[in-house]
């Protein structure tokens, strides 16, 4: 029934394919067609699967313990694709709780919280040439356009509380964003998290479904088609991934079976400053859960790179050096990067890390963490601080510009002008610039030229290329109407010219 080697590596913290054991899988059992449901719930007194197929538990489907361990499983005849389901547990305290499947491939559209049965097999890819020639871009241009798929353009924008607006689907975006990214001269599209998340305002950084591509934009195979289309136009796809924490929502991973499966047993370690829950990456089963999630997206979605969010919180507890190194999470990162370099040697592993921890992009064998690239947040902070000053005062602060060359070659850096710099009252890049209108645009062009010629790969957040005036708003599309104004359209042309200069000139 199960691959015992996979189960062994799951408990050993080295499993890259835990999704083959857990979740909902189509199966023929004793000549009957149906679905096998399996979950890891070591603290549960009992477990059952509930769903549309048994009237949400009115006809009980109790799961059996596998080998007297923490794994529960059941085969249910007649379950169809897209049927919704959850797991129901009796907790150690005797309570009854319902949970979404941590390994589900697809989820009900929010505000619904059920998992959906989905067949991941059968998509025919057309990107073999792309994959054959793919590298980690050490000796190639790497110029990344960072985007939120939902708010790049919207069919219908939010009209206030209770109205999330209407998004373009994965398939509709093929004809929208891909030609634009290609024409602008970018090499890669980085999408903000696509793992399922309940609250739009978290932008995807507080997830529930670490194997489930968000249903906001369609079905998993539609996302495959979108990535396939990117590859056929010569554009790589990088996905934001959040291994540090997850949401507290009742249907998610928090106190999954009434005990602490994914979270820290220690209350003082458990909760993050974002009102979310930290993964306890000292637990082997949690390590396998997240290792397998990354491998799953690389295998099934042909993702070209992963940008790991909040790595500072994986290096140090709460990202605070004074609280000490997070040894469990550090070991997980080394395992992840070691395994991925072996099994997916051309997939880029990128750390968003604000610490000065040395060796983030050094190989694990050389006492490094094994990432391929690290965001240079020091460069970003210093540069923007410098550019925000009136030019008459800049001569007193040239150290903000020169300091980056003291460490520019100590790691493999990406220079990020990202979404984090144009939200929460920080103003758009254009509005950070001092002076009158003419001076602000001139300063912005100066910033982009400096950014392009400074050592390091490049990343620019959507809208910045045409000098968006407002901060980024997740429930609204970009201000495309600004392109009717000469200063904005010429800024876009200028950025495009810089992109081609970077691609074509050594």
- Tell me which residues are annotated as active site: 309, 352
Q: Where are the beta strands (DSSP E) in 274-405?
A: 277-278, 305-308, 348-351, 373-375
Pick from 38, 401, 423: nearest CA to 203? 423
Task: Calculate Rg over the CA atoms of the chain.
Answer: 23
By the 8 A CB rule, do 177 and 463 touch? no
CA dist 204 and 218 (Å) reads 15
DSSP letters spanning 181-196: HHHHT-SEEEEPP-EE
Vertex 487: Cα angle to 485 and 492 (nearest 5): 95
CA dist 320 and 146 (Å) reads 27
Vertex 162: Cα angle to 242 and 421 (nearest 5): 40
Those residues whose C-beta lies under 8 Å from the C-beta of residue 386, and which sit 6 or more positions away, are 394, 397, 400, 401
By the 8 A CB rule, do 24 and 36 touch? yes
Three-state DSSP at 263 gives: strand
Helix and strand tally (H, E) in the chain? 15, 23
Vertex 381: Cα angle to 496 and 433 (nearest 5): 60
Q: Where are the beta strands (DSSP E) in 225-323?
A: 236-241, 245-246, 277-278, 305-308
Q: Give backbone dihedrals phi and psi of 388, rounded to 5 degrees, phi first.
A: -75, -15
Three-state DSSP at 279 gives: strand
CA dist 410 and 378 (Å) reads 13
Intra-chain end-to-end CA distance of the chain, in Å: 55
């Amino acid at each position: 029934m199960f691959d015992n080697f996979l189960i062994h590596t799951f408990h050993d913290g080295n499993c890259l394919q835990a999704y083959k054991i857990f979740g909902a899988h189509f199966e023929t059992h004793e000549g009957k067609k149906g679905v096998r449901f399996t979950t890891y719930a070591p603290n549960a007194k009992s477990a059952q699967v509930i769903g549309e197929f048994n009237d949400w538990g009115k006809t009980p489907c109790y799961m059996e313990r596998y080998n007297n361990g923490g794994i529960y499983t059941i085969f249910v005849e007649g379950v169809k694709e897209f049927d919704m389901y959850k797991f129901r547990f009796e907790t150690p305290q005797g309570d009854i709780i319902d949970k979404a499947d941590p390994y589900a491939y697809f989820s009900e559209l929010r505000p619904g919280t059920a998992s959906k049965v989905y067949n991941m097999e059968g998509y025919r890819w057309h990107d073999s040439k792309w994959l054959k020639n793919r590298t980690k871009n050490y000796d190639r241009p790497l110029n990344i356009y960072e985007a939120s798929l939902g708010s790049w353009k919207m069919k219908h924008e939010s009209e206030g509380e209770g109205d999330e607006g209407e998004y373009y689907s994965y398939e509709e975006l093929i004809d929208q964003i891909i030609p634009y990214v290609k024409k602008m001269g970018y090499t890669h599209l980085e999408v903000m998290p696509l793992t399922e998340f309940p609250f739009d305002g978290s932008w995807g950084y507080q997830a529930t479904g670490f194997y489930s591509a968000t249903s906001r934009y369609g079905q998993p195979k539609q996302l495959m088609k979108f990535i396939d289309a990117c590859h056929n136009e010569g554009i790589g796809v990088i996905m934001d991934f959040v291994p540090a924490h997850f949401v507290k929502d009742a249907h998610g991973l928090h106190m999954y079976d009434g005990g602490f499966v994914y979270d820290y047993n220690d209350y003082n370690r458990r909760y993050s400053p974002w009102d979310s829950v930290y993964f306890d990456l000292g637990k082997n089963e949690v390590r396998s859960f997240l290792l397998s999630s990354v491998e799953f997206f690389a295998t099934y979605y042909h993702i070209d790179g992963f940008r790991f969010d909040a790595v500072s919180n994986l290096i140090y507890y709460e990202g605070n050096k004074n609280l000490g190194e997070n040894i469990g999470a550090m070991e997980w990162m080394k395992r992840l990067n070691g395994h991925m370099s072996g099994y997916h040697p051309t997939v880029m592993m990128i750390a968003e890390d604000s610490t000065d921890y040395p060796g983030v992009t050094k190989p694990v064998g050389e006492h490094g963490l094994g990432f391929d690239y690290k965001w240079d947040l020091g460069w970003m902070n210093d540069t923007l601080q410098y550019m925000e000053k009136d030019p008459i005062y800049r001569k007193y602060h040239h150290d903000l510009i020169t300091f980056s060359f003291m460490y520019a070659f100590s790691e493999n850096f990406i220079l990020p002008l990202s979404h984090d710099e144009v939200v929460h009252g920080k103003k758009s890049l254009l509005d950070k610039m001092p002076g009158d209108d003419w001076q602000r645009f001139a300063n912005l062009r100066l910033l982009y030229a400096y950014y392009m010629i400074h050592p390091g790969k490049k990343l620019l957040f959507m809208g910045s290329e045409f000098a968006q005036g407002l901060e980024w708003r997740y429930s609204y599309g970009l201000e495309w109407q600004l392109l009717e104004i000469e200063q904005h359209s010429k800024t876009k042309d200028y950025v495009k010219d810089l992109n081609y200069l970077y691609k074509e000139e050594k």
